[in-house]
Structure 1
Amino acid sequence: MPFTLHGLPVSQGIAIGHVHLVSHALLEVNHYHVAPKHLADEIERLDGAIATVQGELVGLKAATTSGQAHSEVGAFVDLQMMMLADPMLTDTARELIKSRGCNAEWALVQQMEHLVDQFRQIEDPYLRERQADVVQVVERLVKVLLGHPGHLPPKRRDGLGTIIVAHDLSPSDTIGFRDHNISGFVTDVGGPTSHTAIVARSLKIPAVVGLHHVRDLVEDDELVIVDGTRGIIIVAPDERIVEEYRLRRSELEIERSKLNRLRDTRATTLDGETINLLCNIETPKDMAAVKTVKADGIGLYRTEFLFMGRDVLPDEEEQYEAYRAVVKAMPDKPVTIRTFDLGADKALDRAHARVEPNPALGLRAVRYSLAEPKMFLTQLRALLRASVHGQMQIMVPMLAHAQEIDQTLRLIDKAKAELRAEKIKFNEAVPVGGMIEIPAAALALGMFIRRLSFLSIGTNDLIQYTLAIDRADEAVVHLYDPLHPAVLKLVAGTISAGARFGMPVSVCGEMAGDPEYTLLLLGMGLRNFSMHPSNILEIKQQVLRADLGELAPKVQRILKMDEQARVREAVQRLAL
C-alpha cells in the first residue's frame, strides 16, 4: 500500500525509480590492542590508506577540471583533500596509534568525533554542515582500511532510474553515480546547503533531504517517487499515482526546455521595466555557469571560500588573482565582491580559535574583519587592485553600527594610500556597499545610506535573526518563514528607503532565487535580484510575465496583513 514521507525539498523535479540503499555502518569500528612491535606497521597501514584516498580525490578533481562534474563538486573535493592533509586529523590519529597502542580505524574515528564536536559549535549553517566533510573523509579511509570499497548500483533495464537512499552523500558519491542512470537523491540528514542539496541542484537531479529515518522505511529495489519540488517521497505507488507523476514530470521537462529559450531575452516586465538578474558565486570556477545563463553580473562573490579549511591563509597575491579572474570574466558588467564572512568560531587559525557560546551573535563577518585589521587590510588591498579590471564593487557583511562602516572606510583609505605610495593602480572611486542582514540595520537605514553606495539584503540571516530561528536546526526549521509579516516589513522598508534616496538595493539571499517570491519582491520595488545561476532562467520567466503597475498596489495590501496564513494566500494569488 502506498505511503508518503515528507522532507525538505532542495532540488526541484520529479524522479520515478527503484531504491538503492547506501550503507552507513562503516564507522562503527572495532577497537583492539596493537602490540608495540607492530605499531610501525599499523602507522604504515594508515599511511597507505591515506595515499589511496589521496589518489581517489585527485581522480575526482580531474573529473571536475575535464568537465565531467560541476565546479561546485570540485570545491568540495578541494576541501576534503585539505582535510585529508590536515595534521589535526592524520597526525593526531598517528599519535593515538602510538600512545594508546590501538588500531588505525579506531584512532581515526576517535579523532573524527572530536573534530565533529568542534564543527557542531559553529553557528553558520553552511560551515557547520562541513562536519560532513570530516566524516566522509574518514569514511573513505575506513573503507580502504577494512577492504570494503563502495559499490555502484547497476544500470536498470526497465527504463526506470535509480533512487539513491542514504544517511548522507558526499560529492564523490554523486560523481561516482553519474553514469548509472541516477534519477534522484533521498537522505536522512541535510539541509539547503548540504552536499546532497548543492550537488543535486548543480546536476539538476531531484532531491529531498532531512527525512530522518527514511532508510528504515524503504527497501532495496522498492519503487518510489521523489518530488523534489514539494519535498515528498511516495513509497510503493500504484500505477495510477505513477502515471500522474509521469505526466507532471513531462510537463516540467517541457517547461525546462522552454526556459532555455530565454537565455538571450532581456528580463523586462510587461510594462517595460528592466530587471537585473545577477548571480551568487563561491569561486572563479563558477563563472562558466554564470556565462551559460547570460546573467547581468555578479551580485555576491563569497570570498570566505578562499579562506576555509586552511592553516596558511591566502596572501594578497593569491586573493588578487582570484578576484581579478572574476572581474575580467564579466567585462562591462557589475561584480560585487563581499569581504570575508568568517568568525573566530570557524577556526581559520586552529591555534588561536575562540569558542563562543553563541557564534551567530559573536565575533563574525565585519566584526571579525575589524578585529583582525592586518588580515582585513590584505584583503582590501587585493580587492582594490582587482578593481581596475572592470566594474567591481566591495560589499561589507553583517553591518549594524555606524562605527563599523567608518572603521571599514578608514581601512579602505589606508589601503588606497599604501597602493598610491607603491604606484599600484586601482579604482579611486570603487563603490562600497553593505549587507542588510540584521533587523537593527533594516530599522536604522539612514546611517548606512549616508555612508555607502549600495545595499544588498541578505534574507537568509535577516529571517533567522528576526524570527530567532536557526534554519539548519531540523527541530525548528518549520518555523523559518520568509513570509512572516515582520520579515516582509523589513525587506520592503529597505527597498523603499533605497528608492527614496536613490540608492541601489538588491536581494542576494535565497528569496531572490525562489520563484514563489519573485512577484512579491517586484511589487515591493526590487529591481536587482542575485541568486544561484541555476535559478536565473526561472526567475526571468516570472519577470517577463509581471505587470508592475498591477503588482504594486496588491503587494502594499499584503504588507498591511499581520497573519501569516493570509499573507501566504495573498502571495499565491499574485500569480493568478
Structure 2
Amino acid sequence: MSIQVFGTPVSRGVAIGRAVLVASSRVDVAHYFVPTERIDSEIERLRVARDAVSTELSTLKRDLPPEAPTELSALLDVHLMLLHDESLTGATKQWIVERHYNAEWALSAQLEVLARQFDEMDDEYLRERKADVEQVAERLLRFLARAKPGQAVPAGAEVPRARDFGGEEPLVLVANDVAPADMIQFKRSVFTGFVTDVGGRTSHTAIVARSLDIPAVVGAREASRLIRQDDWLVIDGDAGVVIVNPSPIVLEEYRFRQRQSELERARLNRLRHTPAVTLDGQAVELLANIELPGDAAVALEAGAVGVGLFRSEFLFMNRGGDLPGEDEQFVAYRDAVVAMQGLPVTIRTVDIGADKPLDRMSLQELRHEHALNPALGLRAIRWSLSEPDMFRQQLRAILRASAYGNVRILIPMVAHMGEIRLTLDALARARQQLDDAGCSYGQVQVGAMIEVPAAALAVGRFLDHFDFVSVGTNDLIQYTLAIDRSDDAVSHLFDPWHPAVLRLIADTISQAHARGKGVSVCGEMAGDAAFTDLLLAMGLRSFSMHPARIAAIKQRVLRVDTRRLAAGLPAVLSAEDPALEAARLFAPVLSAPSAA
C-alpha cells in the first residue's frame, strides 16, 4: 500500500530509491561502510561478539542461585536460542556482504526488520518476544562497542557504492537524525536522498544534502517508523513529501521530473569554466567549501577559484577520540593546497563542540556534563585555546603546508579581544617553533569568522588585527535570533531574512571594504540563489559554498547589474518584510537568460 509522509523540504529535486534505515537504538551505533577486502574480518567481528555473548549468557545461567525462579533459566535459554538463530546473526551477515554495512549497523538494520515482524504477529505472546530479540541484539551491540572496531573507511578514502557490491538500485537514507560525522561517511557513498524524523532547514543533514544537490526531507516525524527496509521511496524535495511504495503511474511521473532535473544540471555544468562577471563588469570570486583533502579536486572541477573554507574538524572526527597528529594534519592540508594548483586555500582551525563532537561520547559529555547549552559552551576557538598544545600543533601543520601554496588561516567564533591576542600569540609561538626546527613555511593571511553578533558589532576593531573576515551566516542567524538551529521545535523561527541579520551582514561587508580588507560569506546564504542579488547589492564580491552550488550561483551572477541592485538595497534593509521587498525590487534587475 502506498502512503505519504510529510516533512520540511530542504533540498530541491526528486530522489527515487530503496529505503535504507539507520534505526535508533538504546545503544549508540556507529554507521559506516566497509570495503570489499574487509568483509570477512567484519563478519569475524560479528562471530566473535556472538560467541562472547553466548559465553556470557551461559555463565549467567550456570551461576543462577538455587532460589532463582525457574522462569529466569528458561528466559536465558530463549536468549541463547535467539542468539544463534539465523534470522538474527545469519541475516545480519547478509547486510554486511550485500550492503557493506559495518557489523553494528548491519545488526541494528536486521533488528529493525525483526521488530516489525513481531509487531505484525496476531499472537500477543509472540509479539512480546520482540523485547527478547532487542535485549539479545543490544548485548551484541555493547560487546561490539567494547571490542574496538577497526577504523571506519578513512577520511578521503573511496567509500563503496551500490555498483561495487553488485547492486544497481539507488538507495535513500532514512533515519531519526544523522550526525555530522556520519554525514562525511555517507556523502561519498550510495545515497541519492535523505529523509529524517527531526531537523529543520539548517540541520546538518539539510545543509549537506542541499550543498550536494541531493533531494532531502527533514522533520518527517514518523518516517523511520512508517518506512521499512527496502521500501521503494520517492522524495519530492520541492513539496517536502515522501511517497512510500508509489504506484507505477506516480513512479513514472516522478522519473520524468527526475530526468528534467538532470538536463538542467547538465546545462548549468557548461558554466563551470566561465568567469563569474556581472553585466556591469564586476568580477565575483566563487570559492568552495570542503571538508577533506579529496574534495579539492571536486572544487576545481566545479570551477571554484579557490577554497574559501576547509573545515578541518572533519579530520578529527570518526576516530574514537584519537586526535590526528601534526604530521598527519600537515599531509592533509598539503594535499589540498597542492591539488588547488596555486589557488588560495583558507583553512579554518578546528571547530569542535555543540553539534560537532569529537566522538560519540563527547556529545553526551558536552550536553550533560560540561554545558547545559552546548551551542553556547566550549566550542571552536574556545576549545582550541583550552588545548594549547593541540592548537599549536594544528597551527604548525597549517604553516608547514603554506610552503606549498597560497594558504590562509581562519579562526572560528571569535568574540573577545582576549581571544584574538591569545590566538595571535599561539600563531607566533608556532612560527618560532618551526624556525627553531628549521622547517620552512610561507606567508599566511589570518582571518576571523564573523558568526556571533558581538563580532559583527566589533568588526572594525577586529580588523585592526586580522587580514580578512568571513561571515558564517548559519551561526550568525542562530545567535542573533536565539534559535537553536538543530531543534526542530523552533527551527521555523530561523530566518535569514530577519532585518537584524541583514543589517549585521551589510555592516560587516561595509566596514571591511572601508578598511580595504577582504570579506566573504561562507554560510548557507552564499550558496542559496535567493540571496545572491541581495549579497551583491551589499557589495559582496566573494562567496564560498559547496562545489555543487557554484554553477547555479554563477548563472545568477552573470545575469545581474550590481549598480541597479545596490540602488534597491536601502529599501530592502529598511523594509518590514525584506524578502518581499527584495523580490519586488530585484526580480526586474535580472536580464534575459544568456548563459545557457
CA distance in 2, matches of 1:203, 1:530: 14
The 5 Å alignment of 1:198-213 reads 205-213=214-222
The 5 Å alignment of 1:270-281 reads 270-281=279-290
The 5 Å alignment of 1:68-217 reads 105-108=137-140, 178=190, 185-190=194-199, 205-214=214-223
The structure 1 residue matched to 2:273, chosen from 248, 264, 268, is 264
The structure 2 residue matched to 1:395, chosen from 385, 410, 432, is 410
Q: 3-state DSSP class of the match of 1:369?
A: helix
1:229–1:446: structure 2 CA closer, same or farther, 3 Å change rule?
same
Pairwise CA distance, 1:571: 7.1
CA distance in 2, matches of 1:355, 1:53: 39
Q: Determine if the alignment matches structure 1 residue 469 to structure 2 residue 483.
A: yes
- The answer on whether the counterparts of 1:307 and 1:314 sit within 8 Å (CA) in structure 2 is yes
Q: 3-state DSSP class of the match of 2:370?
A: coil
The structure 2 residue matched to 1:552, chosen from 566, 581, 595, is 566
CA distance in 2, matches of 1:518, 1:533: 16
Deviations 1:99-127 (A, max 9, x none): xxx9652335679999xxxxxxxxxxxxx
CA distance in 2, matches of 1:567, 1:460: 22
Q: Report which stretch shifted further, 195-204 or 408-417.
A: 195-204
Pairwise CA distance, 1:189: 3.8
The structure 2 residue matched to 1:35, chosen from 58, 62, 67, is 58
- The answer on whether the counterparts of 1:558 and 1:570 sit within 8 Å (CA) in structure 2 is no
- The answer on whether the counterparts of 1:21 and 1:215 sit within 8 Å (CA) in structure 2 is no
**Gaps in structure 2 of 5+ consecutive residues:** 28-52, 64-78, 107-133, 147-151, 153-164, 591-596
Q: Which has the larger radius of gyration?
A: 2
CA distance in 2, matches of 1:36, 1:468: 54
CA distance in 2, matches of 1:335, 1:25: 38
- The answer on whether the counterparts of 2:478 and 2:484 sit within 8 Å (CA) in structure 1 is yes
1:487–1:168: structure 2 CA closer, same or farther, 3 Å change rule?
closer
Q: Determine if the alignment matches structure 1 residue 385 to structure 2 residue 408.
A: no
CA distance in 2, matches of 1:357, 1:217: 33
Q: 3-state DSSP class of the match of 1:284?
A: coil
Deviations 1:487-512 (A, max 9, x none): 11111111111111111100110111
CA distance in 2, matches of 1:80, 1:299: 35
CA distance in 2, matches of 1:164, 1:381: 39
CA distance in 1, matches of 2:444, 2:135: 57
1:512–1:172: structure 2 CA closer, same or farther, 3 Å change rule?
closer
1:28–1:494: structure 2 CA closer, same or farther, 3 Å change rule?
closer
CA distance in 1, matches of 2:57, 2:374: 41
The structure 1 residue matched to 2:438, chosen from 423, 437, 440, is 423
Q: What is the TM-score when the length of structure 1 is the normalising length? A: 0.72
- The answer on whether the counterparts of 2:297 and 2:340 sit within 8 Å (CA) in structure 1 is no
Q: Name the structure 1 match of 2:343.
A: 333
Paired amino acid for 1:252: S
1:338–1:565: structure 2 CA closer, same or farther, 3 Å change rule?
closer
Deviations 1:55-84 (A, max 9, x none): 9499959xxxxxxxxxxxxxxx8x999xxx
- The answer on whether the counterparts of 1:344 and 1:368 sit within 8 Å (CA) in structure 2 is no
Deviations 1:506-525 (A, max 9, x none): 01101111111111111111
- The answer on whether the counterparts of 1:34 and 1:103 sit within 8 Å (CA) in structure 2 is no
The structure 1 residue matched to 2:326, chosen from 316, 330, 341, is 316
CA distance in 1, matches of 2:577, 2:145: 44
Q: 3-state DSSP class of the match of 1:471?
A: coil
1:518–1:340: structure 2 CA closer, same or farther, 3 Å change rule?
same
1:412–1:376: structure 2 CA closer, same or farther, 3 Å change rule?
same
Paired amino acid for 1:107: R
- The answer on whether the counterparts of 2:22 and 2:174 sit within 8 Å (CA) in structure 1 is no
The structure 2 residue matched to 1:409, chosen from 424, 428, 439, is 424
Deviations 1:433-476 (A, max 9, x none): 00000001101112211110000000010000011111111111
Deviations 1:531-569 (A, max 9, x none): 111111111111111110111111221011133564564
CA distance in 1, matches of 2:329, 2:534: 37
1:389–1:398: structure 2 CA closer, same or farther, 3 Å change rule?
same
Paired amino acid for 1:459: T
Q: Determine if the alignment matches structure 1 residue 231 to structure 2 residue 237.
A: no
1:236–1:463: structure 2 CA closer, same or farther, 3 Å change rule?
same
Q: Name the structure 2 match of 1:307.
A: 316
**Gaps in structure 1 of 5+ consecutive residues:** 62-76, 82-101, 115-132, 134-151
Q: Name the structure 2 match of 1:11.
A: 11
Q: Indicate the RMSD between aligned Cα atoms, in angstroms.
A: 4.8
Q: 3-state DSSP class of the match of 2:331?
A: helix
Pairwise CA distance, 1:226: 3.3
Pairwise CA distance, 1:256: 1.5
Q: What is the TM-score when the length of structure 2 is the normalising length? A: 0.69
Pairwise CA distance, 1:155: 7.8
Q: Name the structure 2 match of 1:488.
A: 502
- The answer on whether the counterparts of 1:20 and 1:165 sit within 8 Å (CA) in structure 2 is no
Pairwise CA distance, 1:232: 3.7
Pairwise CA distance, 1:572: 7.0
CA distance in 2, matches of 1:183, 1:347: 27
- The answer on whether the counterparts of 2:19 and 2:171 sit within 8 Å (CA) in structure 1 is no
CA distance in 2, matches of 1:446, 1:531: 25
- The answer on whether the counterparts of 1:366 and 1:397 sit within 8 Å (CA) in structure 2 is yes
- The answer on whether the counterparts of 1:185 and 1:200 sit within 8 Å (CA) in structure 2 is yes
Q: 3-state DSSP class of the match of 2:399?
A: helix
Q: Determine if the alignment matches structure 1 residue 450 to structure 2 residue 460.
A: no
Pairwise CA distance, 1:312: 2.5
Q: 3-state DSSP class of the match of 1:470?
A: coil
1:25–1:431: structure 2 CA closer, same or farther, 3 Å change rule?
closer
Percentage of pairs with the same residue: 46
Pairwise CA distance, 1:286: 1.3
- The answer on whether the counterparts of 2:568 and 2:586 sit within 8 Å (CA) in structure 1 is no
The 5 Å alignment of 1:324-363 reads 324-343=334-353, 346=357, 355-363=370-378
The structure 1 residue matched to 2:455, chosen from 434, 437, 441, is 441
Paired amino acid for 2:9: P
